[in-house]
Amino acid sequence: MKMSLKSRKELVRKAKGRYLKVDKSQKVVILDELSKNTGLSRNYLTQILSAKIDLTCKNPINRKRHEKYDVTDIFYLTKIWRIFDYPCGQRF
């Protein structure tokens, strides 16, 4: 059964504290356990657990593109488009 993303992140976050405190032989055990439970690869888990990747960072804000044409430009462009019988870009 596949774990949800939220539960996977929570499980990895809890194991991160243990992972940073133990020696190499115990790290192997923690990696095996997490890899089996979450389905994530060991390489990715080592990156997450060794603090190279931050799980708490949010996705960047999606910003809208600036409009190329204002309302009056769109009005006149659609008028011209109708006059030329609705051509597509391939007809020119």
Residue where the block lists tokens 């020696």: 23
Amino acid 53: pLDDT:
63
pLDDT exceeds cutoff 90 at 1: no
Structural domain contains residue 35: yes
Which tens digit of pLDDT belongs to each residue from 40-67? 999 999 988 887 666 666 677 777 888 8
Which tens digit of pLDDT belongs to each residue from 17-35? 899 899 999 999 999 999 9
Which tens digit of pLDDT belongs to each residue from 71-90? 999 999 999 999 998 888 76
Please give the torsion angle defined by the CA atoms of residues 13, 14, 19 and 22, in that order, rounded to the nearest 10 degrees: 160
Structural domain contains residue 60: no
Averaged pLDDT for residues 68-72: 93
pLDDT exceeds cutoff 80 at 16: yes
Residue 45: other Cβ atoms inside 10 A: 22
Structural domain contains residue 18: yes
Structural domain contains residue 36: yes
Report residue 92's pLDDT band, with 50, 70 and 90 as the boundaries: low
Structural domain contains residue 9: yes
Domain tally for the chain? 1
Q: Is the pTM value of this prediction over 0.75?
A: no
